[in-house]
Structure 1
Amino acid sequence: MADEKDKPTKPTKPVKRPKKALFVIMCILSVLVVAVTLVVGVVASPYFDLVTTFTTKPDMASTEVQQASQATRDITEEVEAEGVTLLKNENDALPLEGVTKVNVFGSTADNNFSYGGTGSGSGDTSKNVTFYQGLEDAGLSVNPNLKQFYDENAISAQDMGLVGTDWNLYELPQSSYTQDVIDDAKAYSDTAIVVLTRKGGEGFDLPTDMAAYEGSEAGRSYLELSPNEEDLLAMVEGNFDRVIVVLNSPNAMELGFVDAPQVDAALWVGTPGATGCEAIGKVLTGAVNPSGRTVDTFPYDVESAPSYYNFGAHDYSNVQHTNQSMFAGSGDATAGTENVHFVDYVEGIYVGYRYYETAAADGYIDYDATVQYPFGYGLSYTTFDEKIADFSDDGTTITMTVDVTNTGDVAGKDVVEAYYSAPYTPGGIEKSAVVLAGFDKTKLLEPGETQTLKISWTHEDMASYDYTGVKAKGGAYVLEAGDYQVSLRRNSHDVVDTRTVTIDRDYIYNDANDGARSSDGVAATNQFDDVSFDGGVTYLSRADWAGTFPTMAPAEKEAPAEIKDALDNPAPVENPDVDDVTYGAKNGLTLADMTGLSYDDPQWDKLLDQMTLNEQKMLVSNGGWMTFSAKSVGKPAIVECDGPNGVNNIMASYNGTQLTGQSVLGYTWNKELAQRVGELFAQEATALKVGGLYAPGADTHRSPFGGRNYEYVSEDGLLTGEIVAAEVRGIQSQGVYCYVKHFALNDQETHRGDAGGLVTWANEQSMREIYLRPFEIAVKDGGTMAIMSSYNRLGTTPTAESHALLTQVLRNEWGFRGSVVTDCILSADTVNINRGLRAGNDLYLAFMQNNMLTSDTLETAAGHQALRNACHNIFYTEANSSSTFTVGMFGQSPLITAVEVVLAAIIALLGTYFVRRHMKMKRWRAQQQ
């Protein structure tokens, strides 16, 4: 008999059933978890990397980020200090010695001051040093009443968001400046600083006529003074003893007004980024001696440039395309059907100083009446003596040794510029009368101190590209026989001293004659006959300046039948008979194992054999601001972001330090400084967990109206290339890779990304000597391991589908090894991914382009080989960067995981509740029996 104490105790009250509603909720949650898991596992799983990348932000307050940010802020000030260019300085107006108080005039000096541009090169300006702050930090007191006057009356420019620029000019009319305002300013100081601002940005070029905008009038361009600005200058000139103009613009302006005797000094400051205004204040007070040099020619009239007449909006009236892109209608792309647009580079090689110096040498223009400030021009607070101390030519390399002595009273830096003039035969290969051969910048020289600099270049560097077959059928670089005048110059126009190099015969760098140039993998031959000739354009020639000088291109014209047919009916995807690839091999390799291996090492084949087809298509097709992970080879997702003027992660919404505009870096003419900028830029990127940068910009200032000139260095290919290459070396030395952009001839914003792409016509000589030259230097001297292709077309072929550009020239001729990404094609369907992969474009700056891959790629051996090759190129870039193994993560999004965990936890709790209630009820019923 059981002990009494072992008998179950009867509950004092019955156990209630769980409420039916709770059971229903648990069932719904269970179904939801199953559904989420199914969706996550089958549908969303391939896109976890996107969610992870764009929902994960760095700790902006961390010590690492703060230290990196401070370092880039410091070097931004240093760049501006060397980039500020003194254009005029009469009557010892500058520096402001003994001056403690100043008046700042101009509605743009505060809220409308331009620190950068819009688009990929934009940044957070909230922490920027303002122009007023820069003056005050330099020890200058700024008239507070005048500042208050502008605060109360000036109109702020519109915030255009990511893309676009407010072209209205908001200078106040003279009626706003009451006599009390003027009298107060005169009593405060006899020194007036007038700030004039122009802006630029992605998506749109600067207006050539201001008829549609406020603050100016029809017949004036954005690069001319507005009537209100003219009145402001006249008022200031009539009331103040010392007038200093500060030009805050990324684009070369018409500056004839600076010649007025009442203007004592003028400073070009460009776009100074986060801290550059500190440097501007120091230059004005003399704490820093300006040493910048112009990167563009400044003509009195921008219409004197031959490029002026073929720039902007020009349409083919008989060819229409419909934008099929994912986000058609955003940015500068428009939804719906529109005419296809074109641009003719009819000026040929005569861009910037190449035109002005050559036309003047031939007597076609009056140089002094046409050009105000030459390319490479800039003044200083001290004086320098430059002389050729030694000169040698060993038959391959020319070396100019220059002694630079500071002959003035204050310390300063000088820029040494070497040029050459090649022999020219009328009707022969086109030659510029002057071409920049090399340059260097001195250290800070104390008064009386001398530094010796050596500038070297090769005979090959002086060769011209003969695309018409004057000396080389089928095209080649040709170094023609004759005397080459080599000169040391203050700028492109003012000669210090000359030497002569005699070339004894024609050197033709092709397989039939002297072989490829020593820097080329294969000899360069014509690759762009369809771009040079099919446009039906007449290129400017010094053999007949008057007869070939461009006229205004028509707003519309009909495309010839063959061009229309090529645009309407692109070539089909080719599928040659090749061996198929291996998928899913178990070779035990990871991407980390590839570090340091040559591009052709057999290990790459073993690694690529491990990938799946799905991994390959997802990697190449989803390259928007990141690259996808690939578990089969241990590759994590990697963050990539804009831009050329500082880290600008537009998808995750965070910014690094806003650097100066790329053009300001060019104004420094300092390669060593550019390399240090790259190093610190990369260190900040690393601190922000960014592995790849869409930077630097290497396109050309073809026109002063270029909307993105602030992102590009200059009008000259060598200067641009040397500065960009130095920055690339700096960036990549820190383990960050960078996509030099936009390859190529992306020199205007108007219609660049509209439906069908901008059809660009240019002769191959100008392409190779000017527009491709910076990229060539970035590859050969900078060692860049990534390139960004452009939106536009070369002739009728999109650049991202151009085998001639991306494979023959870039890889075969120049020896590039690495990856090519498109420009952002989310809002512009300027490339077909299936044709692009075969041309050599590896990565697509978009999302879900995998849906655009057709059976030509996914179901053929040739398509599989194209995907595999693209992955090889992407992996090679990333394996040779330290960021590959520190940035990104595997697995699904933590957000999705968190949702599933929460739902599962709720279900578990409810399930536990139901089970416990069920067991208690079961015991209660047993006790009742």
Structure 2
Amino acid sequence: MEIAWEDVISVITQIKGYLVFIGVMLVALVVALVAVKKLEKPLKGFVRLQSVFAFLLVLVVTVNAICLGPMHNTINGAMAKMGTLTEESVANSRDVIERVAEEGIVMVKNEDGALPLETRSLNVFGWSSANPVYGGSGSGTVDASTAVSLLDGLENAGFSLNTELSDMYTEYRSERPVIGINQEGQDWTLPEIPAEDYSEEMLANAQEFSNTALVVISRAGGEGSDLPHDMGAVMDGSWNEPGTKYLNAKYDNTSEEYADFEDGQHYLEPSQTEQRMIDMVCSRFEDVVVVYNGSNTFELDWLDDYEQIKGAFLIPGAGATGFNALGKILTGEVNPSGKTADTWVRDLTQTPYFHNIGSMTYTNVQDMLDAAKAEWEAADGVAGFVRYVENIYTGYRFYETADAEGFLNYEEAVLYPFGYGLSYTEFEQSMGDITTDRDGNLTVEVTVTNTGNSAGKDVVELYYTPPYTNGGIEKASVNLIALDKTQMLDPGASEALTLTWNQEDMASYDTYGNGCYVLERGDYAISLRTDSHTVVSEQNYNVAETIIYDESNPRTDDVTVATNQMQSAEGDVEYLSRADGFANYASATAGPTDADREAKAEILANGTYDPTEYNKEEDVMPTTGADNEIELFDLRDADYDDERWEQLLDNLSIDDMVNLIGYGGFQTVEVTSVGKVATQDTDGPAGINSFFTGSYGTGYCSESLIAQTWNEELAHEVGLGITNEAVDFGFAGWYGPAMNLHRSAFGGRNFEYYSEDGVLSAVMAVNTIQGAYENGVYPYLKHFGFNEQETNRNAMLNTWLTEQSARENYLKPFEACVKNNDGEALAVMSVFNYIGNEWGGGYAPLLNNILRDEWGFQGMVLTDYFGNYGYMDADRAIRGGSDCMLGTTGGEALITDQKSATSVLAMRQANKNIMYTVVNSVAYEDYTPGTIPVWMQIFYGVDAALAVILIALEVIVIRNYIRKKNSKITVETVEE
């Protein structure tokens, strides 16, 4: 997120009346100064000074009116007095990050027991070894200024490094090229030093230093732009992302002799320079270990092409201290226990989504949007779309199902399955009998025994395989259902882990039949696996009769029955089906045709939306501006349905409601009529990152690394650690955790999200937000929903997907967080993109019908950054389920319909949701009413000082005028 030119324009628009008034007064001043030339002294000088004083007085009064009027909330947020981090919080954060990395780094190769390394002398190759990826850019930016570098981490573990290599990399280039939110565009250059630039002397010195080499390759991602899947287009300049501001993608070749990439290649495979460097290293060294440092799955099948490559590790952004863990793992001080959170395939171009990512835009929308000219201009002349054609078959769900159907050769397609990871020791897992209770809860005890020679931890993964009827409800053959992780087990030690889930969790969403969840009769194979593909043992759980979860029999954790709500988002799209062994794979997964590029439905835009057309005659205008003796603090810990809320809400004026809704950017504003204090909110998922207040915390590791721990306790510690720092600074709300899925390996914000799997993501997210609750901080679950693509995200990105895939995959983490929040007040952040043909921030089927009605959500929904892009509409937002606009400058974030009962009732409900969340947070733990913000105290002090100065000057001028006038009269009398 960023403050862009649209924000500046919005501010100017709001205060243009004041600016015009100042301009008129300035003209009047000039006229007065010219006009007084005809006057005689001393009157001429007196009138001139009075004119200047009058203008200064008008200027001061007008500036006061601006700062205390339309700009009050913006200034109040930016000038908030913030606290500072405590040493205790920072020390805790750095410890947590390192422990996450110890359990999140995944070892995917260890040939001949080469790891841990015996040598303590190490040659480290690759420019990224000196410039690794600590996180991403945008809201999830990591401050690396105090981070332990990769090389530092190795040295801290006791390795002696060949500094001739690292010095060369540092001198070659000191900073990583800029990607993400960058007005100048994306620089995808991979600044690797060509192999021919390594001198023979340097290589000979390296071989003499050690026969072991570590090769580091990194890939970074950033908010605002997805990773290129067509490097040929980037390099020839034809790559473009219409609808975003971040164009001009470029790549500078590192050699004049060859191109780093050719047509048909993508960013997630080795560049030519990287490949030649790997060839060079493997030709010189007997023992080579590869480190891939990135959150986007990379093509690594080449690891098996070199007998010299004995080991390999996967390390997403490591944050402030994560690279210490790499050193400890290489020495054997720490035994790796991480598991992959995604499926690592051999060829990303053969994935089901590959032809349906990137910039796809409609060709016939200009006529459709003629009534929305402002929106058309804001979207750079395009309306984008993305089709989730793979349906429910994301990640391992596709590959395991395709393998079961005989559709592909699994070993040729998949390199590392989901949930895969190696250890320095061996484990044996045994599965007890499945037990059930009358409520449909299933329980399995899994005993894990360390049968190896070193202490370590192991992950337990339970999956289910549902009965499938050809052509029936779509079902993946393998689905994660429960997980856990052992404590540290010494050799020979065992631990019994109890895993529990409900049979309802295995139900499928039957969109086209019953329009609700259905648990079909038959055998459900419950399998214990070491990854999504490798079965340890399996038992059947039989469902005797099909269970339909309709209105007469809703799922036990739904407030109202889950029924079809989002079919409008399915559109005219062919989706992948398992029927007849994925018979429609070619047609469903093909890229969009010319016909697909013609929008089939009206894109609902600002210019085509009149809120008054949706007013309800039966709505009655509520009371406003009452003087009931109640304030917000009185409702702390009160039920959401407490009748006193109505008395409190009656006290609100229209202006109160408009301001609380419209100025929600990194804050919630003060409302004096009900004693609501102003609060501060902060980015980001990887640690406190507030450009708005200038507060930056410890850089946490990427969520991908957290997910690779498969450890819910560590996820809880992350939530606790980040919000410890939030409380230190004085933040009550935290824009995190982020829990969209890794739909595509090329997702620009994959570093900010956990996994390709909704269940693993849910476990991580639920435990993270529980950590936030302990500190009284309300987390904003984001981005709700279907924000898996950055390309064209501000170009009315029409996102088309099936309701089944939405519910079974993409909404899982959000649903789990809402249903497992133990009554705590939550917040949710919605999205930039459209859901179907409606903006997600006003999409009632999701925000009202599913989130609130079905799941029982109580709290506030915040839009994503309200940058006045031209298609976000505050009126539509509050009627469609959003409560607060993430806006800092007003403009389009302010409600326009302030007179109809329908609109005022919607504003009233939105205000309640915001205040319910805030009053139950840390903001009211030490509540002191009546405090005036420091900036206003200073402002009033300056006003008082200016008043004294102006009065003093006025007295001096008047006295001086009287003296001169009297002197002139005396002179004239004498002359007479």
The alignment's TM-score, normalised by the length of structure 1, stands at 0.91
User: What residue is the counterpart of 1:117 in the other structure?
Assistant: 136
Q: What is the aligned length?
A: 893
User: What residue is the counterpart of 1:371 in the other structure?
Assistant: 414
1:51 lines up with 2:70 in the alignment: no
Return the letter of the residue paired with 1:878.
V
Deviation at 1:108, TM superposition (A): 1.3
Q: Distance in 1 between matches of 2:170 and 2:707?
A: 33
**Quick one: structure 1 residues 224 and 750, their matched pair in 2 at CA, closer, same or farther if it must change by over 3 Å?**
same
User: What residue is the counterpart of 1:3 in the other structure?
Assistant: none
Q: Please say if residues 365 and 383 of structure 2, whose CA atoms lie closer than 8 Å, have aligned partners that are also in contact.
A: yes
User: What residue is the counterpart of 1:437 in the other structure?
Assistant: 481
The correspondence for 2:167, drawn from 122, 128, 148, is: 148
Deviation at 1:564, TM superposition (A): 3.7
Deviation at 1:828, TM superposition (A): 3.0
Q: Deviations over 1:810-864 (max 9, x none)?
A: 0000000000011112053342211111111111111344656565x30101110
Q: Deviations over 1:654-703 (max 9, x none)?
A: 31111001111111111111111111111101111111111110101001
**Quick one: structure 1 residues 337 and 110, their matched pair in 2 at CA, closer, same or farther if it must change by over 3 Å?**
closer
SS at match of 1:683: helix
Residue pairs, 1:737-748, within 5 angstroms: 737-748=778-789
1:457 lines up with 2:492 in the alignment: no
Q: Please say if residues 421 and 485 of structure 1, whose CA atoms lie closer than 8 Å, have aligned partners that are also in contact.
A: yes
Q: Distance in 2 between matches of 1:620 and 1:854?
A: 8
- The more displaced of 908-917 and 776-785 is 908-917
User: What residue is the counterpart of 2:296 in the other structure?
Assistant: 251
Deviation at 1:349, TM superposition (A): 0.5
User: What residue is the counterpart of 1:101 in the other structure?
Assistant: 121
Deviation at 1:337, TM superposition (A): 4.4
SS at match of 2:362: strand
SS at match of 1:180: helix
User: What residue is the counterpart of 1:447 in the other structure?
Assistant: 491
User: What residue is the counterpart of 2:313 in the other structure?
Assistant: 267
The correspondence for 2:576, drawn from 533, 539, 553, is: 539
The correspondence for 2:360, drawn from 307, 314, 334, is: 314
Q: Deviations over 1:357-381 (max 9, x none)?
A: 0000111111111111000000111
User: What residue is the counterpart of 2:391 in the other structure?
Assistant: 348
User: What residue is the counterpart of 1:10 in the other structure?
Assistant: none
Return the letter of the residue paired with 1:299.
V
User: What residue is the counterpart of 2:26 in the other structure?
Assistant: none
**Quick one: structure 1 residues 126 and 561, their matched pair in 2 at CA, closer, same or farther if it must change by over 3 Å?**
closer
User: What residue is the counterpart of 2:559 in the other structure?
Assistant: 521
- The more displaced of 275-284 and 551-560 is 551-560
User: What residue is the counterpart of 2:32 in the other structure?
Assistant: none
Q: Please say if residues 760 and 793 of structure 1, whose CA atoms lie closer than 8 Å, have aligned partners that are also in contact.
A: yes
The correspondence for 1:360, drawn from 403, 408, 412, is: 403
Return the letter of the residue paired with 1:118.
S
Q: Distance in 2 between matches of 1:324 and 1:447?
A: 71
**Quick one: structure 1 residues 852 and 157, their matched pair in 2 at CA, closer, same or farther if it must change by over 3 Å?**
closer
Q: Deviations over 1:251-278 (max 9, x none)?
A: 1111001223221000111100111111
Deviation at 1:580, TM superposition (A): 0.8
**Quick one: structure 1 residues 459 and 912, their matched pair in 2 at CA, closer, same or farther if it must change by over 3 Å?**
same
The correspondence for 2:60, drawn from 27, 36, 42, is: 36
The correspondence for 2:769, drawn from 719, 724, 728, is: 728
Identity %: 39
SS at match of 1:243: strand
1:650 lines up with 2:691 in the alignment: yes
Q: Distance in 2 between matches of 1:707 and 1:325?
A: 29
Deviation at 1:555, TM superposition (A): 7.0
User: What residue is the counterpart of 1:239 in the other structure?
Assistant: 284
SS at match of 1:823: strand
Residue pairs, 1:327-342, within 5 angstroms: 335=378, 337-342=380-385
SS at match of 1:457: strand
Residue pairs, 1:303-702, within 5 angstroms: 303-320=349-366, 335=378, 337-395=380-438, 396-469=440-513, 472=514, 475-512=515-552, 515-532=553-570, 534-549=571-586, 550-554=588-592, 557=595, 562-564=600-602, 570=608, 572-573=610-611, 574-577=614-617, 578-702=619-743
Deviation at 1:23, TM superposition (A): 9.5
**Gap runs ≥5 in structure 2:** 1-40, 236-250, 254-259, 969-976
Q: Please say if residues 372 and 607 of structure 2, whose CA atoms lie closer than 8 Å, have aligned partners that are also in contact.
A: no
Q: Deviations over 1:462-481 (max 9, x none)?
A: 00000011xx1xx0100000
Q: Distance in 2 between matches of 1:323 and 1:413?
A: 61
Q: Please say if residues 297 and 353 of structure 1, whose CA atoms lie closer than 8 Å, have aligned partners that are also in contact.
A: yes
**Quick one: structure 1 residues 141 and 18, their matched pair in 2 at CA, closer, same or farther if it must change by over 3 Å?**
farther
**Quick one: structure 1 residues 484 and 694, their matched pair in 2 at CA, closer, same or farther if it must change by over 3 Å?**
same
Residue pairs, 1:10-25, within 5 angstroms: none
Deviation at 1:303, TM superposition (A): 2.1
**Quick one: structure 1 residues 922 and 703, their matched pair in 2 at CA, closer, same or farther if it must change by over 3 Å?**
closer
Return the letter of the residue paired with 1:702.
R
- The more displaced of 441-450 and 911-920 is 911-920
Q: Distance in 1 between matches of 2:957 and 2:172?
A: 71
1:810 lines up with 2:851 in the alignment: yes
**Quick one: structure 1 residues 566 and 912, their matched pair in 2 at CA, closer, same or farther if it must change by over 3 Å?**
closer
User: What residue is the counterpart of 2:974 in the other structure?
Assistant: none
**Gap runs ≥5 in structure 1:** 1-16
The correspondence for 2:329, drawn from 276, 280, 283, is: 283
Return the letter of the residue paired with 1:52.
N
User: What residue is the counterpart of 2:880 in the other structure?
Assistant: 839
User: What residue is the counterpart of 2:915 in the other structure?
Assistant: 875
Q: Please say if residues 661 and 894 of structure 2, whose CA atoms lie closer than 8 Å, have aligned partners that are also in contact.
A: no
**Quick one: structure 1 residues 511 and 226, their matched pair in 2 at CA, closer, same or farther if it must change by over 3 Å?**
same
Q: Distance in 1 between matches of 2:744 and 2:523?
A: 32
Q: Deviations over 1:148-181 (max 9, x none)?
A: 2222334743234744753212211111111111
The correspondence for 1:129, drawn from 145, 148, 155, is: 148
Q: Please say if residues 316 and 556 of structure 1, whose CA atoms lie closer than 8 Å, have aligned partners that are also in contact.
A: no
Q: Distance in 2 between matches of 1:76 and 1:561?
A: 46
**Quick one: structure 1 residues 887 and 309, their matched pair in 2 at CA, closer, same or farther if it must change by over 3 Å?**
farther
**Quick one: structure 1 residues 154 and 323, their matched pair in 2 at CA, closer, same or farther if it must change by over 3 Å?**
farther
Deviation at 1:536, TM superposition (A): 3.4
Q: Distance in 1 between matches of 2:226 and 2:964?
A: 78
Deviation at 1:391, TM superposition (A): 2.8
Q: Distance in 1 between matches of 2:120 and 2:509?
A: 56
Deviation at 1:239, TM superposition (A): 1.1
1:169 lines up with 2:190 in the alignment: yes
Please state which structure has a larger fraction of its residues in helix.
2
Deviation at 1:894, TM superposition (A): 4.7
Q: Distance in 1 between matches of 2:469 and 2:851?
A: 31
Q: Distance in 2 between matches of 1:824 and 1:623?
A: 9
User: What residue is the counterpart of 1:7 in the other structure?
Assistant: none
Deviation at 1:356, TM superposition (A): 0.3
**Quick one: structure 1 residues 883 and 325, their matched pair in 2 at CA, closer, same or farther if it must change by over 3 Å?**
farther
**Quick one: structure 1 residues 561 and 455, their matched pair in 2 at CA, closer, same or farther if it must change by over 3 Å?**
closer
Deviation at 1:537, TM superposition (A): 2.3
**Quick one: structure 1 residues 191 and 422, their matched pair in 2 at CA, closer, same or farther if it must change by over 3 Å?**
same
**Quick one: structure 1 residues 565 and 73, their matched pair in 2 at CA, closer, same or farther if it must change by over 3 Å?**
closer
Q: Deviations over 1:12-63 (max 9, x none)?
A: xxxxx99997996687456534542344246742432321321345354xxx
Q: Please say if residues 378 and 869 of structure 2, whose CA atoms lie closer than 8 Å, have aligned partners that are also in contact.
A: no
Q: Distance in 1 between matches of 2:502 and 2:380?
A: 50
Q: Distance in 2 between matches of 1:894 and 1:418?
A: 60
Q: Please say if residues 825 and 916 of structure 2, whose CA atoms lie closer than 8 Å, have aligned partners that are also in contact.
A: no
Runs of 4 or more, structure 1, over 6 Å off, are: 17-24, 321-328, 914-925
**Quick one: structure 1 residues 753 and 924, their matched pair in 2 at CA, closer, same or farther if it must change by over 3 Å?**
closer
User: What residue is the counterpart of 1:159 in the other structure?
Assistant: 178
Q: Please say if residues 691 and 737 of structure 1, whose CA atoms lie closer than 8 Å, have aligned partners that are also in contact.
A: yes
SS at match of 1:257: helix
